[in-house]
């Protein structure tokens, strides 16, 4: 196999909501990515991977066809595109915990709305006809779908459609257009997708290595290292309070009989409430530290 074939090609959004965070994920996984002269393809210097920078709508196709081994795209785009792809050739490898947004039905402020049945006979503008039709079918509602590639929120005002189905994050765009969200079609986040076609175009070990590093990055996002001193007698209660901790390390404190130091890796967020409960259980000198790298 030539050197060329040994490099992983990964599709990421060129510009937009997912662009920066996608590259950052791989950088946190240790890849040094040169934002070079070649605008279409960025190269990782210290890992055999190249990043194909494209419109997000094209990413599922690039991965399904095997042109790219991996890609990062919103679940909304993936699900919308799946029927047109060889669905068997692409799968979600990891949810990534960023790019959260919701595909919603929004109606003009003055329109009454109780449930999906109220959409019956209406026209609905959207960039996500597949997802919308599935939603309408599930609810057994007959409505007409008006496909638009952008600026969906102006459709009701221009009498292009009665209501819309669009991505919402803060709701500001809706409000500015006299609309309000009334129902959720889909909750979405960015996902890492991988090619699963029959012929393995890429060395599995390379993909496995990268996935392992990404798992490490995802795991450290929420994970904290927590340390405290406490009376040995309170140990059971404290372990109970620690969120998602495995077996903590417990060591005696020199010169303080009955007192121990407790060190634990917590897999879930550590909130102020958790610290207050630990304190109430007798802990003192509680420290919460971020974890930089982790391999499970
Ligand atoms: P492209 O030029 O690549 O086609 P686009 O205009 O289709 O870009 P963006 O607006 O950048 O796409 O959104 C890309 C994806 O990011 C969406 O499909 C969705 O999954 C997610 N997304 C959309 N809006 C937000 C938001 N406000 N916050 C976080 N993620 C979002
Ligand atoms: Zn797009």
**Atom of ligand 1 at shortest distance to CA of 74?**
20
As a 3-state breakdown, the chain gives helix, strand, coil percent values, each rounded to 5, of: 30, 30, 35
- pLDDT for 1 equals 46
Q: In what order do the strands lie in the sheet with 8-13?
A: 33-34, 41-44, 49-54, 8-13, 70-74, 190-195, 90-95
249, 238, 250, 242: which is closest to 270 by C-alpha?
242
- pLDDT for 201 equals 65
Is-contact 226 286, C-beta < 8 A?
yes
Strand partners of residue 193: 71, 92
The ligand placed nearest to the CA atom of residue 73 is: 1
What string of pLDDT tens digits covers the 296 residues of the chain?
444 458 999 999 999 999 999 999 999 999 999 987 789 999 999 999 999 999 999 999 999 999 999 999 999 999 999 998 876 799 999 999 999 999 999 999 999 999 999 999 999 999 999 999 999 999 999 999 999 999 999 999 999 999 999 999 888 999 999 999 999 999 999 999 999 976 556 788 899 999 999 999 998 888 899 999 999 999 999 999 998 777 899 999 999 999 999 999 988 778 899 999 999 999 999 999 999 888 87
The ligand placed nearest to the CA atom of residue 152 is: 1
The ligand placed nearest to the CA atom of residue 54 is: 1
The ligand placed nearest to the CA atom of residue 76 is: 1
Is-contact 241 277, C-beta < 8 A?
yes
Cβ-count burial of 232 within 10 angstroms (0-12 exposed, 13-18 middle, 19+ buried)? middle
Full-model pTM: 0.85
Positive or negative torsion for Cα 133, 134, 135, 136: positive
DSSP-derived pairing of the beta strands 123-126 and 144-147: parallel
- pLDDT for 243 equals 80
**Atom of ligand 1 at shortest distance to CA of 189?**
20
Quote the CA–CA distance of 39 and 30 in Å, as a whole number. 21
What's the gap in Å between 18 CA and the centre of ligand 1? 6
**Atom of ligand 1 at shortest distance to CA of 16?**
11
Residue with tokens 């047109």: 84
Strand ranges for the chain from DSSP E = 8-13, 33-34, 41-44, 49-54, 70-74, 90-95, 101-108, 123-126, 144-147, 163-168, 179-188, 190-195, 224-231, 249-252, 259-266, 284-290
What's the gap in Å between 240 CA and the centre of ligand 2? 46
Quote the CA–CA distance of 144 and 162 in Å, as a whole number. 10
- pLDDT for 77 equals 97
Strand partners of residue 107: 180
**Region at 291 (left for phi over 0; alpha for psi -120 to 50; beta for the rest):** beta
**Atom of ligand 1 at shortest distance to CA of 150?**
6
Q: Whose CA is nearest to atom 20 of ligand 1?
A: 74
Structure tokens at 122: 């209406």
- pLDDT for 87 equals 66
Cβ-count burial of 6 within 10 angstroms (0-12 exposed, 13-18 middle, 19+ buried)? exposed
Ligand 1 site, residue 56, Cβ cutoff 6 A: yes
Ligand 1 site, residue 18, Cβ cutoff 6 A: yes
**Region at 151 (left for phi over 0; alpha for psi -120 to 50; beta for the rest):** left
Domains, the chain, with CATH or none: 8-98+190-219 (3.40.190.10), 101-188 (3.40.190.10), 224-290 (3.30.70.120)
Ligand 1 pocket mutation, candidates 167, 169, 191, criterion most atoms within 8 A of CB: 167
**Atom of ligand 1 at shortest distance to CA of 190?**
20
3-state secondary structure of 58: helix
């Amino acid at each position: 196999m030539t050197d060329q074939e040994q490099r992983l090609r990964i599709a990421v959004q060129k510009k937009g909501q997912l662009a920066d965070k996608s590259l950052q994920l791989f950088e946190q996984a240790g890849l040094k990515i040169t934002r070079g002269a070649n605008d279409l393809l960025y190269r990782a210097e210290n890992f055999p991977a190249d990043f194909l920078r494209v419109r997000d709508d094209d990413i599922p196709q690039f991965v399904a066809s095997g042109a790219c081994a991996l890609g990062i795209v919103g679940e909304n785009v993936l699900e919308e595109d799946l029927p047109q792809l060889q669905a068997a050739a692409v799968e979600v490898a990891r949810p990534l915990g960023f790019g959260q947004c919701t595909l919603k039905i929004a109606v003009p402020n003055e329109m009454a709305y109780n449930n999906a049945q109220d959409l019956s006979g209406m026209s609905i503008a959207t960039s996500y006809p597949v997802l919308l039709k599935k939603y309408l079918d599930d609810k057994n509602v007959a409505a007409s779908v008006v496909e638009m590639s952008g600026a969906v929120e102006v459709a009701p005002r221009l009498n292009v459609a009665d209501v819309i189905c669009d991505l919402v994050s803060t709701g500001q765009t809706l409000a500015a257009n006299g609309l309000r969200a009334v129902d959720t079609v889909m909750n979405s986040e960015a996902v890492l997708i991988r090619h699963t076609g029959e012929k393995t175009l890429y060395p599995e070990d390379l993909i496995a290595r990268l996935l392992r590093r990404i798992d490490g990055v995802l795991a450290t996002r929420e994970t904290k290292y927590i340390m405290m001193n406490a009376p040995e007698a309170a140990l059971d209660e404290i372990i109970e309070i620690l969120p998602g901790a495995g077996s903590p390390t417990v060591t005696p404190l020199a010169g303080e009989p009955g007192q121990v130091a407790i060190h634990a890796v917590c897999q879930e967020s550590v909130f102020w409430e958790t610290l207050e409960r630990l304190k109430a259980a007798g802990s003192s000198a509680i420290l919460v530290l971020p974890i930089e790298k982790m391999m499970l």
